[in-house]
Structure formats: structure tokens, C-alpha cells
């Protein structure tokens, strides 16, 4: 008779030490507190990222509209260039939004005494900041994909559209009050234009002619293209013709009707191939160019500096939680805006140092490896020092004294401003 346990595999309980190690790992990597911290970070980070990215893109879009107005482009060109700018500004906005979100979450938890409760439950500084560091590692991988692969293509696409706008063909139409460059030094403008853009009132045309230039000022005019579309014909009535020679001599004449006939081309000169700039090369292409597997005219130092700078910028993101943790704890409710300002100043200083090192590496004044990774080491070392100092002194971290000093200085400046204002008001009242 077969035993009821025949063919059954028995699993004996794990050893106590192994079970305890596994329990601690699960609690540290995916515990309720860690999930709560990550969940609380997503909302402020999404909002900060949206606001920062929108502000950066809109500021650039305003300049794009100005370029389009001068170049005679369309709204579609603005939209294309704005979309191609998103990866560039996303790489800039992501670390800033991540830091702001961490600062807000930590400061809010400290105000609500949630951090004190977690400390009493046995949570250490490192355990609290560990999920944020893990999130920073994910964003570092995303940043590397942005810097190394998406931005080179979007930057080239942006420059290609800008080339089309600057060198695009004129459609042989004029807008009222807009100075149009018709090519070959010919400039046309009109005070009023009908809906077709071809019937003009208050016409002014300037063109180079016979060792000088001519200026035509007419009451009205008509623009049209020849049948084959290769010649532009402008007919103007009731105006004056001014001739200015390079020697300084000038002549003026009047006319009832005058026709200006010149060549017209709707062909856009082709844009260069991608890779004319080191920032248009992907990370793989940079490595191939440095190894001699890809031919490029970009100097070796610039290639090496660009490759290292992308990696350093991405690897700096996981260190942001180590900086945000002590700053968030030190910035109480009244000092929250001050803490964000100090944090932004620190990030701006690091960014400028980073750009300085990258420029020195591009010029070959300092080896690119040293020029790029030295600012990174300074920033990472500062973040680690601030975190470890705060962990060793929970009641007073590296930024507590700084915030107290800045707050006292702000109050002093505010009092001095109020006294000066009241003194001026009294003098004006007495006068």
C-alpha cells in the first residue's frame, strides 16, 4: 500500500538568520513606509516638472516667434522647434523637479512630526533616504538616455527646422508693417496689404544697384510671379526713385509706373548631415569617434569632454536626496522658501562649475576627465558630507545654522527697509 506522503516534496523552514535577513530586505526595499515616501514624492515632482518644463519651453517659444516673424516662417515651424526642445529642457528640469519634490516631502513630514515617529520606530536617516536614492538611480538612467541618445537627434532636428526658417523661400507675399527680405539684398515693406498679400499700399523697396543702392517709394503696387514661377514682378505706381552711390552722390526722380523684375527661387539649400557638432552625436557615436571607428571633424578634446559630461550629469542625480534630506529637516515651515532658494543656489553653483570644467576640457587647457569629474566629485562629496553630518547630529544638521543666519539677515534688511521707508514718508509729509 502506498504511503500518503509518497511523491511529496517537503520544504523545511529556513534558518532563523536567513528569514530575518530576507524580512529586513523586503521591508527596506518595498515596505509600507518606503512605498508611502515614493507615493508622496510623485505628485509634487510631477507638478514641479510640469511647471519648470513649461516655463523653460515658453521662454524659448517667445524667441522662436520673433525669429519666425523675421524669417517669414509659419506656426508649424514654431511647433516643430518647440517639440524638439522638450528633450533638452527635460534634461535640465528633471534634476531640479526631483530636488524640489524631495525637499517639500521631507519638510512636510518634519513639520507634521512624521519623521520623529519614524525615528522612534527605529528608522535611520539612511533607511528613509534609501527609496529616494533608488528613485534617483532610475532618473539617472533616464537622464543618460536623454543626454546620450534622445537629445542629439532632437537638437539636430531643431537646427534643421531653424535652417529651413532662416533660408526658406519667400512666398512672394507681404504682410503689413513687416520688412521682408526677398533675397539678394532686396527688401520690401508696405503700410497696408490686402488679404492676398499681393496688392500693396505705401510700398517701400530697397535693392543694391550699379555700385550703390536704389530706394523706391510708391503710393501702391502689385506683386506677382511669372508663369513658370521663376521670376518675381513688382509693379508700382505714383512714386519716387532714389539712387545712392557708394561715393555719396544721390539722385531722385519721379515716376507714374515702374516694374521691377528679378529672379525668384523656391528651393531651400540642403542642411548639413548630423554630426557637425559633438552634441549631435549619440553616446555610442562619441565612443566610436574617440576610438577612431567614426570619422568626424570635431576635435578629440571636445568629444571626450562631451562624453564624460553626459555621464557625470546623469550620475549626479542619485546624490540629490542626500542633499535634500538635511535641507528639508533644517527648513521649518517659515524657512521653506528660504531652503528652496538655498538649494537652487547650490544647484546653480554646481551647474556653473560643471560648465566651467566642460569649457576647460573643450579648449584642452585641462584634461577632459579631470575637468569634468572634479566638479562632480566636489558636488557628490558635499552631498555625502551634509548627509553624514546630519545623521550624526539629528538635532542640528549642516544647514540649521545657515538658515538661522540667513533668516536673521533677512529680518535685519527688512527692518532697515521699513525704517528707511517710514523716514522718507515723514519727509514727504513735512514737505
CA 305 to CA 323: how far, in whole Å? 26
What is the structure's pLDDT at 223?
Answer: 85
Quick one: pLDDT at residue 417?
Answer: 81
The reported pLDDT for the residue numbered 327 is 86
Q: Is 376 helix (H, G, I), strand (E, B) or coil?
A: helix
Angle (CA) 90 163 287, round 5°: 55
Which grid coordinates belong to 215? 530706394
For Cα atoms 83, 89, 91, give the angle at the middle one, nearest 5 degrees: 120
- pLDDT score, position 425: 77
Contacts of 5 (CB under 8 A, 6+ apart): none
Which phi-psi region, left, alpha or beta, contains residue 215 (left: φ > 0; alpha: ψ -120 to 50)? Answer: beta
* Dist CA 148 CA 101 (whole Å): 25
- With CA atoms as reference, report the closest residue to 95 among 139, 133, 35: 139
Cell of 166: 532662416
- pLDDT for the residue 319: 95
pLDDT of residue 182: 72
DSSP code of residue 276: S
pLDDT average per 10 residues of sequence, the chain (431 residues): 43 49 46 84 92 88 75 73 91 92 88 80 84 94 94 92 74 76 79 86 86 87 79 86 82 86 70 88 92 88 93 94 87 70 86 89 90 94 89 70 75 82 78 64
**pTM for this predicted structure:** 0.72
pLDDT for res 370: 94
Query: Which phi and psi angles does 123 have, rounded to 5°?
Result: -80, 135
The answer to whether residues 52 and 96 touch, using CB atoms and an 8 Å cutoff, is yes
pLDDT score of 18: 55
| Vertex 327 angle, CA 396 and 35, to 5° | 110
Amino acid at each position: 500500500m502506498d504511503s500518503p506522503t509518497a511523491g511529496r516534496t517537503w520544504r523545511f523552514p529556513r534558518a532563523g538568520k536567513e528569514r530575518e535577513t530576507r524580512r529586513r530586505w523586503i521591508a527596506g526595499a518595498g515596505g509600507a513606509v518606503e512605498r508611502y515616501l515614493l507615493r508622496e514624492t510623485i505628485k509634487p515632482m510631477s507638478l514641479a516638472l510640469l511647471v519648470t518644463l513649461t516655463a523653460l519651453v515658453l521662454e524659448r517659444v517667445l524667441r522662436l516667434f520673433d525669429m519666425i516673424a523675421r524669417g517669414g516662417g509659419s506656426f508649424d515651424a514654431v511647433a516643430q522647434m518647440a517639440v524638439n526642445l522638450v528633450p533638452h529642457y527635460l534634461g535640465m528640469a528633471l534634476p531640479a523637479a526631483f530636488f524640489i519634490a524631495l525637499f517639500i516631502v521631507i519638510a512636510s513630514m518634519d513639520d507634521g512630526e512624521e519623521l520623529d515617529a519614524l525615528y522612534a520606530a527605529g528608522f535611520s536617516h539612511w533607511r528613509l533616504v534609501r527609496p529616494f536614492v533608488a528613485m534617483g538611480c532610475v532618473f539617472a538612467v533616464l537622464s543618460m538616455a536623454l543626454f546620450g541618445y534622445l537629445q542629439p537627434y532632437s537638437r539636430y532636428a531643431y537646427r534643421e527646422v531653424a535652417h529651413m526658417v532662416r533660408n526658406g523661400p519667400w512666398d512672394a507675399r507681404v504682410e503689413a508693417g513687416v520688412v521682408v527680405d526677398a533675397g539678394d539684398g532686396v527688401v520690401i515693406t508696405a503700410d497696408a496689404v490686402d488679404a492676398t498679400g499681393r496688392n500693396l499700399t505705401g510700398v517701400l523697396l530697397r535693392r543694391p544697384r550699379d555700385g550703390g543702392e536704389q530706394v523706391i517709394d510708391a503710393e501702391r503696387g502689385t506683386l506677382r510671379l511669372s508663369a513658370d514661377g521663376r521670376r518675381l514682378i513688382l509693379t508700382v505706381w505714383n512714386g519716387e526713385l532714389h539712387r545712392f552711390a557708394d561715393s555719396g552722390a544721390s539722385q531722385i526722380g519721379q515716376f507714374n509706373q515702374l516694374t521691377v523684375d528679378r529672379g525668384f527661387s523656391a528651393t531651400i539649400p540642403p542642411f548639413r548631415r548630423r554630426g557637425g557638432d559633438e552634441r549631435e552625436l549619440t553616446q555610442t557615436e562619441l565612443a566610436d569617434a574617440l576610438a577612431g571607428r567614426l570619422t568626424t571633424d570635431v576635435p578629440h578634446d571636445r568629444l571626450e569632454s562631451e562624453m564624460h559630461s553626459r555621464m557625470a550629469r546623469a550620475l549626479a542625480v542619485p546624490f540629490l536626496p542626500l542633499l535634500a534630506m538635511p535641507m528639508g529637516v533644517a527648513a521649518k515651515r517659515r524657512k521653506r522658501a528660504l531652503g528652496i532658494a538655498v538649494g537652487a543656489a547650490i544647484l546653480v553653483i554646481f551647474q556653473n562649475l560643471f560648465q566651467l570644467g566642460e569649457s576647460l576640457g573643450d579648449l584642452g587647457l585641462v584634461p577632459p576627465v579631470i575637468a569634468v569629474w572634479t566638479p562632480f566629485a566636489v558636488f557628490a562629496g558635499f552631498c555625502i558630507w551634509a548627509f553624514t553630518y546630519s545623521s550624526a547630529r539629528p538635532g542640528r544638521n549642516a544647514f540649521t545654522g545657515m538658515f538661522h543666519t540667513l533668516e536673521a539677515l533677512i529680518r535685519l534688511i527688512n527692518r532697515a527697509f521699513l525704517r528707511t521707508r517710514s523716514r522718507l514718508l515723514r519727509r514727504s509729509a513735512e514737505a
